[in-house]
Structure formats: C-alpha cells, structure tokens
C-alpha cells in the first residue's frame, strides 16, 4: 500500500496544478468580454456553457432525493454563483494578480483550520509571507470596492473547497458538479441578462464565452474535485497558494501587467509553501469509483 502513496500524491498535485493554470488563462480571456457584456454577462456565459458541457459529459440523475447530499450540492451551486460574480466584479476594477491574492484568504483559511501539525503552520506561514508581498502597498490607488469584492470571493472560495470535497464523495464522477453548475447558472441568469443584454448573441462573444467556460469552470472544477478525492482539504488549500503566483504570471504574459521584484520573491515563497505542503501530506485518499 505504501508504494501507491507517491503516485496518488503526484496525481493529486498534477490535478491541482492543471486546474490552477487553466482557470487563470480563462480569467485572462474573460477580461476581454467586460467591455461588451460586463462582469455579470461574462459570468452568465461562463457558468451557462459550463453547465451544458458538464451535463453532457456526466448525465447526472434528474432527481436528487433528500438529505445532506442534496443540501450540499445546492449550496455548492449557490457558492459557484457568488464566487464567480464577486471575483469578476473585482477583476473589472483591480489587476488579476492582486485580485487572486486577496481572494486567496479562502484557501489559506481552510489550510490553517485544517492544520494538525506544527510543520503545517510553517507552510501556511510561507504562503502568508508571499501573499503579503503580493498585496497592494499602503497608499496605492487600488479600487476599494474591487478589493472588497475579491475578499468576498475568497470567502466563497473557502466554502467551495469544503463543499466540493463533500459533494465529490457523495456523487459518482462529476455528477454532483454538473448539478451544482446548473443551480449556479439559474442563480446568475437575471444578473447576466441585465448586464449582457443582446450583446451575448454575438458569435464572437459566444465563442469567447465558451472558451472561458471550458478553461475557467468545466476543466478546473473537474480536476479540483478529483484532487479533493485524494487530498485533505487543508493540504489542498495550501497547494492552492500557487494561484496568486500563476495569476501574476498570466497577467504579465497575457495582460501586460508587469512583475515587480517583490512579486518575484512572493512567487518563490508560495512555491516553497506548496512543495512543503505536498511533502508533509499524510496518506492520500484513494479515489473512489
């Protein structure tokens, strides 16, 4: 059994990294839609297309029944809606790297609450140091509402980690994820139609919206659900400390948002935190059928 642990741990890490890169590339594409359909319309396209894709792939049961699993999947759908709306509202106002940095309070909180050993706190501490370096310096001209919306998205992100782990254990494959995405699509429909209007019928906008849905929702959420079947929530939260670093890199390459020396140091710190969290992880969970 011990010989299987490195393979499970490596698989889980690859899933997390794949999800991180995918969602940040999707976020960069999403910013190109804001002038046409606004954050609400962008979220509507992202979640709506993702719901159709996931339904086609997983074909979940039409009846959920009752009990804890039904409650969790409905809550996850509400969290999807709140997390994406608040994050895109932030992304319209502040740079991608800073938005994700502030949003990371969610995974960091999950990692801190889930820590069981003193060594775990070392990795959390390194992640905190990196976040502080990536955070806006005093006196900066950052939009206050944008920062507040990013922090709100972080609270939803923490809830997403906990709920995704539970839904992933309660439903086979990605069935629970598909149902939650449908719930989210229904929840954001009014905001999306008001914000986006008739512009969402444009073929170019629909094509970009589909790409954003695949890169930012369908693919990363599926990868993360599989990772959470193998890793404790706390360890997953610390591994997600790579998210601000990847966001800063995507912002630099794709959106021409430069990296200061302190941001490069921050990338090194969060990378060290992720590697340390991986090495300190106990026995990974075996994936369930």
The CA distance from 85 to 91, in Å, is: 10
pLDDT band at 215 (very low <50, low <70, confident <90, very high): very high
CA angle 97, 99, 103 (to 5 degrees): 115
DSSP labels, 166-225:
HHHHHSSTTHHHHHHHHHHHHHHHHHHHHHHGGGGGSHHHHHHHHHHHIIIIIHHHHHHH
pLDDT of residue 284: 44
Residue pair 154/110 in contact (Cβ under 8 Å)? The answer is no
- Count of alpha carbons within 13 angstroms of residue 145, beta-carbon side: 5
pLDDT, tens digit, for every residue of 76-104? 999 999 999 999 999 998 888 888 888 88
Burial tier of 275 (Cβ tally within 10 Å: 0-12, 13-18, 19+): middle
The CA distance from 19 to 9, in Å, is: 16
Q: What is the pTM of this model?
A: 0.80
């Amino acid at each position: 059994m011990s010989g299987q642990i490195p393979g499970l741990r490596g698989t889980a890490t690859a899933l997390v990294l794949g999800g991180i890169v995918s969602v940040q590339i999707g976020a960069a594409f999403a910013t190109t839609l804001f002038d046409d359909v606004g954050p609400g319309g962008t979220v509507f396209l992202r979640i709506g297309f993702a719901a159709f894709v996931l339904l086609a792939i997983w074909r979940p049961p039409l009846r959920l029944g009752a009990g804890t699993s039904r409650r969790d999947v409905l809550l996850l759908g509400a969290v999807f809606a709140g997390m994406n709306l608040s994050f895109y509202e932030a992304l319209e106002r502040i740079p991608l790297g800073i938005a994700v940095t502030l949003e990371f309070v969610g995974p960091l909180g999950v990692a801190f609450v889930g820590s069981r050993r003193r060594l775990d706190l070392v990795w959390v501490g390194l992640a905190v140091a990196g976040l502080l370096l990536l955070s806006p310096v005093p006196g900066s001209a950052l939009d206050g509402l944008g920062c507040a919306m990013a922090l709100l998205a972080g609270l939803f992100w923490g809830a997403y980690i906990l709920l995704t782990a539970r839904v992933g254990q309660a439903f086979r494959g990605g069935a629970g994820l598909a149902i939650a995405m449908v719930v989210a699509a229904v929840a954001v429909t009014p905001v999306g139609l008001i914000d986006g209007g008739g512009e969402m019928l444009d073929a170019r906008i629909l094509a970009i919206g589909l790409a954003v849905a695949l890169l930012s929702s369908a693919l990363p959420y599926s990868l993360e659900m599989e990772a959470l079947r193998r890793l404790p929530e706390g360890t997953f939260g610390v591994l997600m400390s790579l998210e601000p670093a990847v966001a800063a890199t995507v912002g630099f390459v794709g959106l021409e948002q430069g990296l200061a020396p302190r941001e490069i140091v921050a990338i090194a710190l969060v990378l060290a935190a992720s590697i340390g969290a991986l090495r300190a992880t106990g026995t990974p969970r075996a994936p369930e059928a």
